[in-house]
């Protein structure tokens, strides 16, 4: 088999799993190669692994100008997820590489994870679990979710799915979005407000915005100062949205009550000032990785790879740089 028919599965969590969806690639004549490192590829490692590779099922490894220049046979980066801050899309376009996304495949899973983080940190579950494990008993009253106010920053697919879960707990739902859909908000019991007003009014602030120049460190010392001392921050979006030093300072000094964090900057968060704090609940950027989302995201990636290999479009709504598609 020609090595131009390789697909590299970069998502290290998929190695060693029963993955029947990958058989579709094999049936189409592709050799499937997997990342066996147990972590993300670094740039040099990715360049070495891309030798003779036609397409990748991409995790969070860096797709830089240097990577694309070093992999002339690469034609498709099919992203296992919805974020692409690690992909230089302009460089991909210059090198004729299609960047295909799995939009719509894991938003329900991320919303589940965000709600779980919110409930877990508000209920102080980790500390109470450890109390019982260590032979202790008793507790103090904790924050409830029912009829509290949640502020959602970013009302896209994930933000909307998260809002539905909050409405199920009879929560008052506020939202801020740079391009708000007023009709959708009105129809679904969501009140659109400004950024600062959302911070001031919310018991819980949940981030569901992409990482852009405008959103980078949008949660900083100034914005944290607007939040209530009884409020909680939830971030299942991108770590770059939060100034971690400022958040750590606010948590350490109880200027806000707590935080549930799934996304860090950088990742993994070695040496982060957040790690030793007792009023934070942390997960390893994994809220969107339930088993249903795994299959849906991989199927979407494989659909894109097979369509492009057959000279077809996988659907312009899934492609960041449609000018690279075969005509």
Catalytic residue positions, numbered: 238, 267, 285
Question: What is the number of residues in the chain?
Answer: 327
Q: Are 85 and 227 in contact (CB under 8 A)?
A: no
The H or E element containing residue 92 is helix 89-94
Q: Are strands 76-79 and 98-100 parallel, antiparallel or unpaired?
A: parallel
Q: Are 166 and 173 in contact (CB under 8 A)?
A: yes
Q: Are 53 and 33 in contact (CB under 8 A)?
A: yes
The CA distance from 257 to 240, in Å, is 21
Q: Are 56 and 34 in contact (CB under 8 A)?
A: no
Backbone angles phi, psi at 176, to 5 degrees: -125, 130
Of 26, 34, 20, 19, nearest to 5 by C-alpha is 26
The CA distance from 87 to 62, in Å, is 6
The CA distance from 105 to 228, in Å, is 34
Query: Which strand ranges, in their side-by-side order, compose the sheet holding 6-9?
Result: 31-34, 6-9, 53-58, 76-79, 98-100
CA 288 to chain centre: 7
């Amino acid at each position: 088999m020609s090595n131009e028919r390789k697909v590299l599965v970069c998502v290290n969590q998929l190695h060693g799993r029963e993955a029947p969806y990958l058989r579709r690639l094999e049936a189409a004549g592709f050799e499937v190669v997997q990342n066996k490192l147990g972590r993300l590829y670094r740039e040099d490692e990715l360049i070495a692994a891309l030798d003779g590779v036609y397409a990748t099922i991409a995790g969070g490894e860096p797709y830089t100008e240097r990577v694309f220049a070093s992999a002339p046979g690469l034609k498709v980066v099919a992203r296992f997820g919805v974020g692409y801050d690690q992909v230089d899309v302009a460089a991909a376009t210059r090198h004729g590489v299609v960047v295909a996304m799995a939009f719509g495949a894991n938003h329900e899973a991320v919303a589940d994870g965000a709600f779980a983080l919110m409930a877990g940190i508000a209920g102080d579950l980790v500390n109470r679990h450890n109390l019982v494990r260590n032979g202790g008993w008793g507790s103090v009253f904790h924050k409830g979710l029912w009829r509290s106010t949640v502020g959602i920053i970013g009302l896209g697919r994930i933000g909307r799915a998260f809002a539905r879960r909050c409405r199920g707990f009879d929560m008052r739902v506020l939202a801020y979005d740079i391009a708000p859909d007023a009709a959708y908000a009105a129809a679904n019991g969501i009140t659109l407000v400004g950024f600062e007003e959302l911070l001031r009014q919310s018991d819980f602030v949940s981030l569901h915005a992409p990482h852009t120049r405008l959103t980078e460190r949008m949660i900083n010392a100034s914005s944290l100062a607007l939040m209530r001392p009884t409020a909680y921050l939830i971030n299942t979006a991108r770590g770059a949205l939060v100034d971690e030093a400022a958040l750590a300072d606010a948590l350490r000094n109880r200027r806000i009550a707590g935080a549930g964090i799934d996304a860090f900057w950088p990742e993994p968060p070695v040496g982060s000032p957040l790690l030793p704090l007792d009023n934070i609940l942390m997960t390893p950027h994994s809220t969107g990785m339930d088993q249903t989302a795994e299959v849906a995201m991989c199927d979407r990636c494989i659909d894109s790879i097979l369509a492009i290999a057959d000279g077809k479009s996988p659907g312009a709504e899934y492609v960041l740089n449609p000018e690279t598609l075969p005509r």
